Structure 1
Amino acid sequence: MTNSNKNPKVDAFLNEAKQWKEEYKKLRNIVQDCDLTEEFKWKHPCYTFEGKNVVLIHGFKDYCALLFHKGALLKDPHGILIQQTENVQAARQIRFTNAQEIAELEAILKDYICQAVEVEKAGLEIEFKKETDYIIPEELHNKFNAIPALKTAFEALTPGRQRAYILYFSQAKQAKTRESRVEKYVKHILDGKGLNDK
């Protein structure tokens, strides 16, 4: 990829990076060899093929990563793709803690990126779980029975908002905690708001 294909927003992101600067630059160079379009989305370098998101470079406290948007569809012969949490359905990461790891995996990373581009060329899509595949916790069911308007309001929410609530309520190990979480968000749901809406 020539310098003319470098996105100035990514240049600024790299210049301002306090952590992982060298690692980000190495990842950028590798991805740029794969003929993708460099963009800046979600405050991170994102690389696309014909408008479709392929990979994203991002960092966390303990590692930086190359995130494959449809990583669940990739073959992973090296066992390096990581599902961030059990609720992430499509994306997979390859994580790094230093630039040397990136350098050692360069050829493999390019293979995975090329594979991700082939997934886009083939038009493959992730088959996401439907909202009906998520089990509504008993505590929320009980609240629906006590307040029928709550069930109506919940069903009127977007599928993503419903899923966020179900996952949040279900993550609590104890019934008492699940009950208090449901109670806390009754008004929010009745107001048609998602978990993180103000």
Structure 2
Amino acid sequence: MKKIHSVEEYIEDHAHFSDALVLLRDIINATELSESIKWNSPVYTLNDKNVLGLGAFKNHFGIWFFNGVFLKDEHNLLMNTQEEKTKALRQMRFESIKAIDKNVVLAYIKEAIENQKLGKEIKPDRKTKTVTIPELLKTAINTNSSLKKSFAALSPYKQREYCEYIATAKRDATKLTRLEKIKPLILQGLGLNDKYKNC
């Protein structure tokens, strides 16, 4: 994955949505938020606290609200992209620049800033969770001593990432594909998302 150094570079990399991203960026930069690059994407902070981020994908783009769960969402624009995993994060998703109502977007951003000033945020749950290993992964670990040793050496967080990755696949074929993908990572002592963490 290419390392992004500036918001301009991020927008260039997503040329198919560049006009829309520039528009959203201008709306955000009209507020008191500070702009930076974190996790290879534009992130906007208030007193070093993450408030929102810009994101672009193949078929859509939008704004991530880090504590979007607290927004009133009067226009029903926010979605939770991972119901089981995401507690606070909400996404405002668009497919074209025409869908952007500048005043509505600004109102949501201003509300997010106010919520941050009020200290409204969900603190990460630091309690130790037990790791439930899916049967397919358990079998693979128990029949391969190197894999078993490497998996045991991972932090509980990394173990959970792998377990969830297998468990969330709907089809057996997908589970098998995912298992083959993660085996080399486990053997290297890597977490599922390590390659993205230092971007």
TM bin, normalised by shorter chain, reads: 0.7 to 0.9
2:37 counterpart letter in structure 1: F
Does residue 120 of the first structure (1) align with residue 116 of the second (2)? Answer: yes
Give the corresponding residue for 1:28: 25
TM-score normalized with structure 2 length: 0.72
Tell me what 2:190 maps to: 193
C-alpha RMSD of matched pairs (Å): 3.5
Unmatched segments (≥5 aa) in structure 1 = 1-7
SS in 2 for 1:126: coil
Q: Give the % identical residues.
A: 36
Q: CA 1:195 to 1:41, structure 2 compared with 1: closer, same or farther past 3 Å?
A: closer
- 1:171 and 2:168 aligned: yes
2:12, 2:58 → 1: CA distance? 18
**How far is the alpha carbon of 1:135 from its aligned partner?**
4.2
Inter-partner Cα distance in structure 2 for 1:186 and 1:15: 35
Distance 1:122 1:192 in 2: 40
Pair 1:86-2:83 in alignment: yes
Specify every segment of 5 or more residues in structure 2 that has no aligned partner in the other structure, as ranges. none
Corresponding residue for residue 39 of structure 2: 42
Q: Is the 8 A contact 2:60 2:95 kept in 1?
A: yes
Question: Number of residues paired by the alignment?
Answer: 189
1: CA distance, partners of 2:10 / 2:177: 41
Deviation of 1:81 after TM superposition, in Å, equals 0.7
* 1:105-116 equivalent positions in 2, closer than 5 A: 106-116=102-112
Cα displacement string for residues 53-99 of structure 1 (whole angstroms, at most 9, x for unaligned residues): 21111211111111112223333222211122335513211111222
Q: Does 1:54 align with 2:36?
A: no
Which structure's relative contact order is higher, taking Cα pairs within 8 Å and 6+ residues apart?
2
**Pair 1:19 & 2:16 matched:** yes
State the structure with more CA Rg: 1
- Structure-2 residue corresponding to 1:4: none
Give the structure 2 partner of residue 95 of structure 1.
93
For residues 40 and 71 of structure 1, what CA distance do their matches in structure 2 show? 20
Cα distance between partner residues in 1 of 2:26 and 2:38: 18
Q: Deviations over 1:144-175 (max 9, x none)?
A: 66679866754542344223201121133456
1:154, 1:189 within 8 Å by CA — same for their partners in 2? yes
Q: Is the Cα contact below 8 Å between 1:73 and 1:119 reproduced in 2?
A: yes
The change in CA–CA distance for 1:11 and 1:151 in structure 2 (over 3 A counts) is: closer
Tell me if the contact between 1:54 and 1:70 (Cα under 8 Å) persists in the aligned partners.
Answer: yes
Letter of the structure 2 residue corresponding to residue 94 of structure 1: M
